Chains A and B, each alone.
Chain A
């Protein structure tokens, strides 16, 4: 099995707070890997470090062996890492189609004009937004905005897809649809690293899991094994107090 993403010794400090501390793990190509941990454990910061939104203070990030540490985010995006955001981010005053074209027009092999519009519509269909192409993004419901964000990320035809609590806030039936969608993407060969709190989703989707606590990686491995790891249980039990 080939390693797609390799993080090692990654550290990020915000003033006196070390949000990520000498963290290392790998993501295998073709798999769905879960990134778990209590609130404030550094998951989003990790996503930001991998996608280039933040520059690490130490450590390296490698994509198929190539060092991409601290590269500017647009280069990392063009290099094949796409992401969604914990707090959904769409371009409100653009249509759904335009939002997806944003993901197509500046990637490594850009699409523009009619070709971009056609591909955007195909991706909208793919995430369940068929027929909503002309709608303003601001007018979409929360779950549809999440779908739109995913379509925009897929538009980059990424090698690695970073999802930061993409399933959070969905109701039961939306959640089932979301899980099915991520699974089908995975079956098409997209590698996924997903931050998630919804345990049922993690069990259904993730072959492997990485668990963070207070900025450090406390467990990494097969999902079922990780779930019963004492360090993981302790991390979550510790959280009950706050």
Chain B
């Protein structure tokens, strides 16, 4: 079951090397699909990196994505590209720290709502700042790049993400996150600093989202807060990750590929009913595949039947008193 690390990493490297050849064979439409898949593969996998083990449903994906994109829009033409990417990483990390520290104490539904509200707040602040201070409503992003360059950067980022996720999964930090997801009270009482562990994963996950936004920004040429902070990106990320399954590193990808293709088709053919259909797809996934495709596969491959656990004695006995 558990393959040797060197073997897994070598196999992963081979897959990424093959994927790097896509720009040499794909046409313009193929490239735009490949970029869309790579984009959501990173967002959904990064999302699951944190939300999978902790079971916190974050709707803040586009807050970080948008911060990355906006950093590029503001600095892209005045600084060299590596510095711009670094600036985006710093911005995303700082934001993630502030957001993480203020929200990770919230439980369940409050976290969901807060993460969504926060994204809207950031969008409003950026809008306000642009209108009042810089007197712009949008910005043009003219960078010397093309589809292939964007694709390769996304691919490189995805490779780093998968490697990071794989290593975390084998580390004490990854294990701590699984214990937290299982029972946070138990986690605390075995010595896990739950706040710190959650914060670390949240920031790491946000960093990848921010970098994705930075890499994707030049594709738009024109950017405004409504585009960069479009909540639909957050929703689609969650839907894809949940469809694929968040308990395994490769799970989200199984949701990303079919849904990117489906959403692309829906957008082209039913642009007016797109959001409605998105909502229905979301409900169907949660209802039919609560563990995602990866979970369903895992369940099928476990052939032996489990004995029913005894549950009837959980209530404590009140007998034998003095």
Contacts and interface: CB of A to CB of B under 8 A. Distances in A.
B315 interface: yes
A4 interface: no
A74 B188 contact: yes
B183 A89 contact: yes
A139 B306 contact: yes
Interface stretch (A10-18, A100-108, A180-188): A100-108
Contacts, number: 114
Contacts of B314: 87-88, 142, 169
Contacts of A197: 316-321
Interface in A112-151: 112, 136, 138-142
A227 interface: yes
Contact of A112 (B172, B315, B316): B172
A198 B316 CA distance: 11
Nearest to A76: B189
Contact of B186 (A89, A98, A139, A200): A89
A110 interface: yes
A106 B176 contact: yes
Interface string B187-198: 111111110000
B310 interface: yes
Interface stretch (A20-28, A62-70, A77-85): A77-85
Nearest to B306: A139
B298 to A, nearest CB: 11
A72 B188 contact: yes
A233 B186 CA distance: 35
Given A105-B176, A106-B190, A112-B172, A142 B183 contact: no
B82 interface: no
Contacts of A176: none
A82 to B, nearest CB: 7
Contacts of A136: 306
B80 interface: no
Interface residues of A, number: 52
A232 B191 CA distance: 36
Interface in A208-241: 227, 232-233, 236, 239
Contact of B190 (A77, A139, A169, A198): A77
Contacts of B187: 74, 102
How many B residues touch the partner, as a band? 20 to 34
Contact of B316 (A83, A168, A232): A168
Contact of A169 (B179, B185, B189, B316): B316
A92 interface: yes
A152 interface: yes
A87 B186 CA distance: 12
Interface string B171-182: 010011011001
Given A91-B182, A199-B322, A152 B190 contact: yes
A73 B320 contact: no
Contacts of B176: 105-106
Contacts of A139: 306-307, 309
Contacts of A94: 178-179, 182
A138 B176 CA distance: 19
B313 interface: yes
A52 to B, nearest CB: 8
Contacts of B172: 105-106, 110, 112
B321 A93 contact: no
Contacts of A85: 185-186
A88 B310 CA distance: 12
A45 interface: no
B272 interface: no
A87 B314 CA distance: 7
Given A89-B183, A142-B313, A77 B191 contact: yes
Contacts of B306: 136, 138-139
A49 interface: no
Contact of B189 (A39, A82, A93): A82
A138 B309 contact: yes
A141 B191 contact: no
B311 interface: yes
Contact of A142 (B175, B191, B311): B311
Contact of A102 (B190, B315, B319): B190
A48 B172 CA distance: 26
A51 B321 CA distance: 26
Enumerate the 8 nearest inter-chain pairs by beta-carbon distance, A residue then B residue, closest first: A91-B182, A106-B191, A168-B316, A73-B188, A77-B191, A78-B191, A169-B313, A141-B310
Given A87-B314, A102-B175, A140-B309, 5 more contacts: A73-B188, A94-B182, A138-B306, A156-B191, A168-B317
